[in-house]
Chains A and B, each alone.
Chain A
């Protein structure tokens, strides 16, 4: 490795947000993943956010084609995607413009861009390039126009395919990361395919590193976490896939849908080695039907989907509840309604998860708030579904699905990994819905047991499983199924309050926004603001003690990534205002006047947005 040509100054940073954006297919995602992997392996705190176009090959050199990765790297544990981008590497000016249009970049962002567009044959491209960069510079950005393509061509004749690794090389130098660690990852990515590809990418990465050494007088250093022992780094869908294995699932029935599918990709890769099967069904309805049939017959099965799939699965959810067949349904939320924003984050499926099934269909709805929880929630969900003969909906989202985070390596419990069926004869008089009158709980009789023959049905039925149309029987069945939720609720604890137990403002959230909300609250508390935060994991049933906890604050506000009317908008009155989804539930369940902030930007919540909400609210409280 050649020595640095110039004396460089190394600036120590607590954290930085780095973006790499290109046209779809140019490899910015791979570059981002590689850089993030090096950072993770060097022990940095990390959160990544994928920048994904909805099309596979959108028209190149347009803002709609921007694809890449946003990596927040820090010297402490990182729980969310953070605020504005500090450094962006753009393959072209339209990819860069897309990031300006989504308000992602800090005013003083460092921009690295290929200068080839300044010499392009098309006058419009030359003009756009200049205007975009001049505008950024005027607002305070530091712009590096560099001959990236030209430099790549020195190493690789067809540089269109390897520019991304050149850029990784530059970033490794800029952040003082180990170049060899980058080589290792290249080998892991391409080694199985071709040694020639490995060599080419290694060469490009090294060239980028050297070029950066010669170019930048200032580089950065971000120290590793204090404790990096026993940590793993993965995204939320991988965590759900591995968590499903850890939970002892043996069948995943699914139908392709974004952003849920990558969990099934992971399972397809390794599930068979664990004795499991991924069944890609003919449609979303069949996928849940297969899972229901399997669970009813005794093989633990789950189904994984996203919004439109959740909608298609509603009738089967009703059958699951009515027949008291255990089922875990993972819904990785995306923007809606309808096809909405299929690759982007939203928390808009909460009410659909709770209430979309016609008739009264009590179900358990839980939401992981971090990637670590995506893993651990799977064994928990299975246990609840089986002990309570219940439908458990797990609400993840696109932010957790594609983001990557470091967390403590889980320990494996072998006892969850065996599934032995009780095939003993059923004692005379045993009923398939032998409801405990206090709790509504009963034992499922698996098919195959002598003397236990019964028929599961979506019709109202007696404890013996017989169809019945009498009002008393219907009332009993409804009561027993509802009672189970109350029993589960009695086992829950009031959620922890982050900050003081009392104060001016309590921010309540659920799911993936926890990291951003808690970070914002921590920063405001450091300024002396009396704000606290709560994240609610169990949304059905809601945990006990909420009303009392809320009562200790002057104001309670739900902050969510789903739509709410702005109280200042035309026609909006306190009576007709549509609240965010968790707020709606909290208001009805606690009778506390919970206010809300809800927006649907299609991007993860930023801590600075939450800080600005807190500041506005505190101003109004005073």
Chain B
């Protein structure tokens, strides 16, 4: 990192019209030590560095601890229903293509109750940054096993340990057609998280970002307690995300070309037994967005042209054989 004072001034004073306060509403009410605080800060810094006017950003969330996100971020926001952030995001995206869209969900929210929307919205490839704050537990409802809870997780619905192997979200995502961006990062790696969010934000299409995030109250031991011991590997490529390793300074770096879907699927499939991949797993900048696909067929015209056309349609239902007249 350069410490050139001119660069610093250019970045901090001239380029950024906004301060972090411009993206802040009130102190977040998450628990002390919750990884969501870090994710919120990273999003705010990312917005500032991208010089986004707060009024041009829409944050949509589902229900759960993570879905309180829009309340603490000073943008337009819609805190929707459990599992349903993505359908609302599709509607927002179709309605206002010019706005920037951030969708925030938790692991139960997205992978369980919202599973159907998750698969299909990836296929739509709406233009949105979709982040999943995955703490491997249902926390707001006080500790029930989530789809990503490790086998044997003690919870209020699995007091003798959860029975099944966890769901592997990366493998599932990497099997969906029209996929355009998949990355994974962790909330206790602020540099890497911020770089990942920045790449996702700049991506045209649906950028799916899973953020591993420790719940200090109900799941403190997940991700090796977010310690330096967490078994991870950083993915590196010239088109990828710079491995800013932070506390995981001893984690290995592996070369991975994010355009190689088969390699990405292989890494994802082995994530649980091997090392959790951090970085850009998959990138395809050629996939058209849902708006591009749909609006390329939509005719734009003024109200008088539309009225004229509607009159023609009504005439086609007129009795007395209007087709010969018209």
* A274 lies within 8 A of B91 (CB): no
Given A299-B96, A319-B80, A453-B74, CB of A282 within 8 Å of CB of B120: yes
Min distance, Cβ A140 to any Cβ of chain B, angstroms: 35
Min distance, Cβ B135 to any Cβ of chain A, angstroms: 21
CA distance A277 to B298 in the complex (A): 7
Task: Enumerate chain B residues within 8 angstroms of A42, measured Cβ to Cβ.
Answer: 319
A452 within 8 A of B: yes
A173-220: which have CB < 8 Å to B?
Answer: 181, 184, 188
Task: Enumerate chain B residues within 8 angstroms of A414, measured Cβ to Cβ.
Answer: 303-304, 306-307
Task: Enumerate chain A residues within 8 angstroms of B75, measured Cβ to Cβ.
Answer: 453
Given A283-B116, A417-B306, CB of A292 within 8 Å of CB of B91: yes
Task: Enumerate chain B residues within 8 angstroms of A286, measured Cβ to Cβ.
Answer: 84, 86-87, 90, 116-117, 120
Task: Enumerate chain B residues within 8 angstroms of A413, measured Cβ to Cβ.
Answer: 307
Task: Enumerate chain A residues within 8 angstroms of B306, measured Cβ to Cβ.
Answer: 245, 274-275, 414, 417-418
Task: Enumerate chain B residues within 8 angstroms of A287, measured Cβ to Cβ.
Answer: 87
Min distance, Cβ A138 to any Cβ of chain B, angstroms: 40
Point out the residue from B78, B310, B319 that lies within 8 Å of A274, measured CB to CB: B310
* A181 lies within 8 A of B321 (CB): yes
Min distance, Cβ A228 to any Cβ of chain B, angstroms: 6
CA distance A412 to B86 in the complex (A): 36
Task: Enumerate chain A residues within 8 angstroms of B299, measured Cβ to Cβ.
Answer: 272-275
Q: Can you name the residue of chain B whose Cβ is closest to the Cβ of A457? A: B79
Number of interface residues of A (CB under 8 A): 75
Min distance, Cβ B176 to any Cβ of chain A, angstroms: 12
B56 within 8 A of A: yes
**Total number of A-B contacts with CB less than 8 angstroms?**
211
CA distance A535 to B309 in the complex (A): 34
* A412 lies within 8 A of B307 (CB): yes
CA distance A296 to B77 in the complex (A): 10
CA distance A288 to B117 in the complex (A): 12
* A455 lies within 8 A of B95 (CB): no
A43 within 8 A of B: yes
A362 within 8 A of B: no
B20 within 8 A of A: no
Give 1 or 0 for each of A252-282: 1 = CB within 8 Å of chain B CB. 0100000000000000001011111101011
Given A245-B310, A251-B91, CB of A455 within 8 Å of CB of B77: yes
* A293 lies within 8 A of B310 (CB): no
A315 within 8 A of B: yes
Task: Enumerate chain B residues within 8 angstroms of A282, measured Cβ to Cβ.
Answer: 116-117, 119-120
Min distance, Cβ B305 to any Cβ of chain A, angstroms: 9
Task: Enumerate chain A residues within 8 angstroms of B298, measured Cβ to Cβ.
Answer: 272, 275-277
Q: Can you name the residue of chain B whose Cβ is closest to the Cβ of A276? A: B298
Min distance, Cβ B147 to any Cβ of chain A, angstroms: 18
A459 within 8 A of B: yes
CA distance A287 to B91 in the complex (A): 9
CA distance A138 to B310 in the complex (A): 53
B297 within 8 A of A: yes
Point out the residue from B54, B81, B90, B294 that lies within 8 Å of A315, measured CB to CB: B81
Task: Enumerate chain B residues within 8 angstroms of A467, measured Cβ to Cβ.
Answer: 71
Give 1 or 0 for each of B288-326: 1 = CB within 8 Å of chain A CB. 000000110111111110110111011101111101000
Task: Enumerate chain B residues within 8 angstroms of A301, measured Cβ to Cβ.
Answer: 91, 95
Given contacts A286-B116, A448-B76, A452-B55, 5 further A-B contacts (CB under 8 A): A275-B306, A282-B116, A297-B91, A447-B99, A454-B77
A interface residue numbers (CB < 8 A to B): 40-43, 181, 184, 188, 228, 230-234, 238, 242, 245-246, 251, 253, 270, 272-277, 279, 281-283, 285-299, 301, 315-316, 319, 323, 406, 409-410, 412-418, 447-459, 466-467
Of all A-B residue pairs in the complex, the 5 with the closest CB atoms, nearest first, are A293-B91, A289-B87, A299-B95, A455-B77, A447-B76
Query: What are 6 A-B residue pairs whose CB atoms fall within 8 Å in the complex?
Result: A40-B319, A231-B319, A274-B301, A286-B90, A413-B307, A447-B99
